[in-house]
Amino acid sequence: MAQAPEPPPVSILANSLINELDALTSPLVLVLDDYHRIRGESEVHELMRLLLAHPPRRLHLVIATRRDPPLGLTRLRTQAGFTEIRLKDLGFTGSETRMLLQALLAFTASDDALDNLQKELEGWAVGLRLVALALRHTADPDGFLRSLHGGIQLTQTYLLQEVIAVQSPELRNCLLRASLLERFCAGVCDALAKADTEPEGKPTAAELSGSEFIQTLQARNLFAIALDDRENGFATTISCPSPPRR
């Protein structure tokens, strides 16, 4: 098929893929992350619908998406072997939040502080991680949790400011540059630092090397996820606002 002058119809591709997957002798987990990025008119959706209509026996398909994919979920919900994990399933309960704070900080929140934290973040996992980072530099952690207000959007902004404010200027400068990227490594960070110079070619501020920056992120559990076992590449969990469209 790869040598064909034109791509074969989706139905033929689907049948070929189903037959090959069905011939597997070992289980296969196929993960499709960020599925919401696929355009609505893409033929990928039709391929997936055909695949799910006749699922191979040893295939375990995992789709991670920020919105419902156009794959006929109503029909799929009636079939055995289909599991949905929705937003409410990912939120931490009050008891789970208390256990998380105890595990990360050896800190037991009062009932009032925990109730306010649940009201503000609704069990939002990323927000709880930001809380844990902020509490490391807080003299009164219980008071900090009781004082949170404004809902998720304002609380997220406040927590980010609290966490970033206590970092060194050198680290904040590196974080700002890394926030432009979805993925980065030490070499990319060094290249960005080299480009971010004054007209005279002098650095704008004292700099961390790319490897020092990544080591600091790892040591402090800050805004990065390792993408491989060797930790050569990272994905950023912070972002800059999108530029306005012209």
Residues 192 and 156 in one domain: no
- Of 84, 100, 135, the last residue of a domain is 84
What tokens appear for 135 in the block?
Answer: 């509490």
Q: What's residue 141's pLDDT?
A: 93
Q: What's residue 7's pLDDT?
A: 77
Work out how many domains the chain is built from and give that number: 3
- Of 115, 146, 165, the last residue of a domain is 165
Q: What's residue 99's pLDDT?
A: 94
Q: What's residue 168's pLDDT?
A: 87
Tokens 């902020």 correspond to what residue? 134
Angle between helix axes 125-135 and 111-121 (nearest 10 degrees) is 130
Burial class (CB in 10 A: 0-12, 13-18, 19+), 176: middle
Report how far residue 207's alpha carbon sits from residue 125's, in angstroms, rounded to the nearest whole number: 32
H/E element holding 24? none
Residues 145 and 173 in one domain: no
Are the CB atoms for 97 and 114 separated by under 8 Å? yes
pTM for this predicted structure: 0.56
Residue 15 lies in a domain: yes
Residue 1 lies in a domain: no
Residue 242 lies in a domain: no
- Of 143, 165, 187, the last residue of a domain is 165
Are the CB atoms for 237 and 126 separated by under 8 Å? yes
Q: What's residue 242's pLDDT?
A: 37
pLDDT beneath 50, residues of the chain: 201, 203, 239-246
